[in-house]
Amino acid sequence: MPLFDKTELEQAAQLVHAQMLPTPQNTWPLINEAVGAEVWVKHENHTPTGAFKVRGGITFMDWLVRSNPEVRGICTATRGNHGQSQARAATAAGLTAKVYVPYGNSSEKNAAMRAFGAELIEFGEDFDTARAEAVRVAGEEGLMIVPPFHPELVRGVATYALELLTAVTDLDTIYVPIGCGSGISGLITTRDALGLKTKIVGVVSEKAQTAKLSFDAGRLIETESANTFADGMAVRVPVAEAFEIYSKGADRVVAVSEDEVAEAIRLYYRSTHNIAEGAGAAPLAALMQECEQMADRKVAVILTGGNIDTDWYLQVLHGETPSST
C-alpha cells in the first residue's frame, strides 16, 4: 500500500497550490538531442525557495499547528533547501525556526535561510553531526524537531510528482536524487497511488553513497563521509523510514561522479539557460550515464533545485569541477 492515496495527495496539492503555482515540466530539444531520448524536466528550481523542499514545509507546518497548537517553535538541521522551506513556513505560522548547518555550509543558502526567518547555527563537520545536535537542542529547549523525513514532509513534496505524473502519463523512467529520501519517497508513493508502472531510479553522488550501498545490500549502511559539492545529497547516515520505501519501490540506484554532475549543470545551462545545483543536476547526470539503455524512451528528470553558490557555478561554467573540501 502506498503511504498516501490519491485523495490525500490531491488534498496536499490544494494546500501547496494555495501558496505557490505548480512548477512546469518541459521537454527541451537540445537535452533530447544530447541524451537520445524524449526527456521531461520537472522544474522544481522554479518554486518560491528555488527547490522542491518548500512543498513539504507547507504541508508539515499545516499539520504541526493543527496537531500541536501550543508549539512555539521548530528546530531542524539542513544543508540549505530544507532549512529555507522550514524557516519560510514557520515564520508564516508565527513560530520561531532554529536551523543547524555544518561549518562550511553554502554561504548563499545560509543567507537565504536567514532571510526566510531562520536563527542559523553552525555546528559540526557535516549534516549528520548537525542533525544530532539539532535533536539534542530541540529536546532541551522544548522545540518541535523537524526530522529530515516525516509523512507530512513526504505528502508535500509528493505534489511535484502528482503534477508531473498527471501531466505526462506515459513515462518509462524517472531519475531523482536521494539525500535523506523524502523526494524519492514522494515520487514512489505517488506513482503507486496512481497505479502507474513508471520505473523510479534513485541517484547519489559517488562521494555520498549511503542510499546506494543500503539499496544494493538490502540493509542500512552508513558511510564515513559524504564530501560532495552536490550538497543536497551529502548524507552519510541513511534514513530508515525512507529506505523502507525506496528499497522496495525503486528500480535501481545509480552513483554519479563530481565531474558528471558538473557536466550536467553545464548541459542545463547550454540547453535551457536554467541554473541547477549539484543535486538538482544529478538526475540528468545519471541519465547521461545510462543514455544507451534509455535511447528513444520517454523519461523524466527532477531538477530539484537551483541554489548553487555563485563561485561554484562560475567554476562549473568555466569547465571545472568544484572541490567540496
286 and 182 inside one domain? yes
pLDDT digits (tens, 9 = 90+) for 285-306: 999 999 999 999 999 999 999 9
156 and 12 inside one domain? yes
Note down the domain range covering 66. 53-145
Provide the pLDDT confidence category of residue 43 given band limits of 50, 70 and 90: very high
Task: Tell me what the mean pLDDT of segment 244-259 comes to.
Answer: 98
Q: Which of 122, 145, 168 is the last residue of a domain?
A: 145
What CATH number does the domain containing 76 carry?
A: 3.40.50.1100
Residue 171 domain-assigned (yes or no): yes
Residue 323 domain-assigned (yes or no): no
109 and 180 inside one domain? no
12 and 157 inside one domain? yes
The domain tally of the chain equals 2
212 and 249 inside one domain? yes
Full 3-state SS string of the chain: CCCCCHHHHHHHHHHHHCCCCCCCEEECHHHHHHHCCEEEEEEHHHCCCCECHHHHHHHHHHHHHHHCCCCCEEEEECCCHHHHHHHHHHHHCCCEEEEEECCCCCHHHHHHHHHCCCEEEECCCCHHHHHHHHHHHHHHHCCEECCCCCHHHHHHHHHHHHHHHHHCCCCCEEEEECCCCHHHHHHHHHHHHHCCCCEEEEEEECCECHHHHHHHHCCCCCCCCCCCCCHHHCCCCCCHHHHHHHHHHCCEEEEECHHHHHHHHHHHHHHHCCCCCHHHHHHHHHHHHCCCCCCCCEEEEEECECCCCHHHHHHHHCCCCCCCC
What is the reported pTM? 0.96
Task: Tell me what the mean pLDDT of segment 241-259 comes to.
Answer: 98
**Angstrom distance (rounded) from CA 171 to CA 56:** 24
Task: Tell me what the mean pLDDT of segment 233-237 comes to.
Answer: 92
Task: Tell me what the mean pLDDT of segment 301-314 comes to.
Answer: 97
Provide the pLDDT confidence category of residue 16 given band limits of 50, 70 and 90: very high
Q: How many CB atoms lie within 10 A of CB 73?
A: 17
Task: Tell me what the mean pLDDT of segment 12-31 comes to.
Answer: 98
285 and 218 inside one domain? yes
Instruction: Output the CA–CA distances (angstroms, integers) from residue 320 to 53, 146, 216, 314, in the order listed.
Output: 28, 36, 31, 9
Q: How many CB atoms lie within 10 A of CB 318?
A: 8
38 and 77 inside one domain? no
Instruction: Output the CA–CA distances (angstroms, integers) from residue 240 to 19, 34, 61, 101, in the order listed.
Output: 31, 36, 23, 21
Q: Which of 121, 145, 169 is the last residue of a domain?
A: 145
269 and 300 inside one domain? yes
Q: Which of 82, 117, 145 is the last residue of a domain?
A: 145
42 and 67 inside one domain? no
pLDDT digits (tens, 9 = 90+) for 117-148: 999 999 999 998 999 999 999 999 999 999 98
Residue 243 domain-assigned (yes or no): yes
pLDDT score, position 325:
60
165 and 44 inside one domain? yes
pLDDT score, position 265:
98
Task: Tell me what the mean pLDDT of segment 166-176 comes to.
Answer: 97
45 and 170 inside one domain? yes
Q: How many CB atoms lie within 10 A of CB 218?
A: 9
Rg of the chain over CA atoms, in angstroms? 18
Beta bridge partners of 144: 74
